[in-house]
Amino acid sequence: MTTDNWTEIKAACEAALPADVVAYIQRYQGTAHSESQLIAILHMVQAAAGYLSKEQMNAVAQLAQIPLAKVTGVATFYHYFRLHPRGKHMINVCLGTACYVKGADKIGQRLMGDLGIQFGETTKDGLFSLESTRCLGTCGLAPVVMVDDQIHGPVTPGDIATLLDKYTKKEKVSKLPVQV
């Protein structure tokens, strides 16, 4: 943003955020509670957009009158906040104790290798995001991988290609033209 006109800055910031977030910020603007609402505000932004973009974090900082460093500091400190767009399918590798002792680290390594991304990243085609998580409550199936809301287990590194294929094929089928 190259203007220092507050009206223009404010309008651009409001346009970068959902209307309910703007209204929420306005409720606390300039009050002693402004900073204490930051996590709630970031949760609302992420719920609407799926992640926190630099533009949105800047808009929150400007409108809530909180230093940008504080906003980005909170966003990067909490594992829950995502700073990049989320893929269509979310893969969560359980690294809880039961899964870890049964080789969850090797599952993670295999997924990173096959997808070409690290934990916390999304594939270039936007199809998969890879995350790690703690106990999913299904230790009896360890080691466990959750794709979207579906639990898979026990999983071996050799199962990963088939697992990914299943979701990749699903995408290809859904893109086929409808036959009439």
Q: 3-state DSSP call for residue 42?
A: helix
| Residue 94 or 117 having the CB closest to ligand FES | 94
| Residue 57 or 94 having the CB closest to ligand FES | 94
Nearest distance in Å: CB 94, ligand FES: 3
| Residue 75 or 130 having the CB closest to ligand FES | 130
* Own/partner long-range contacts of 107-112 (Cβ < 8 Å, ≥24 apart): 107/143, 107/145, 107/155, 107/156, 107/157, 107/160, 108/132, 109/157, 110/157, 110/160, 111/145, 111/160
Which chain residues interact with ligand FES by CB under 6 A? 94, 96-99, 135-136, 138-139, 142, 144
Nearest distance in Å: CB 77, ligand FES: 24
* Closest residue to bound ligand FES by CB: 96
Nearest distance in Å: CB 23, ligand FES: 40
| Residue 9 or 98 having the CB closest to ligand FES | 98
Q: Can you tell me which residue has the tokens 């599952």? A: 107
Nearest distance in Å: CB 139, ligand FES: 4
Q: Which residues contact 128 (CB under 8 A, 6 or more apart)?
A: 87, 88, 89, 90, 91, 115, 117, 122, 164, 167
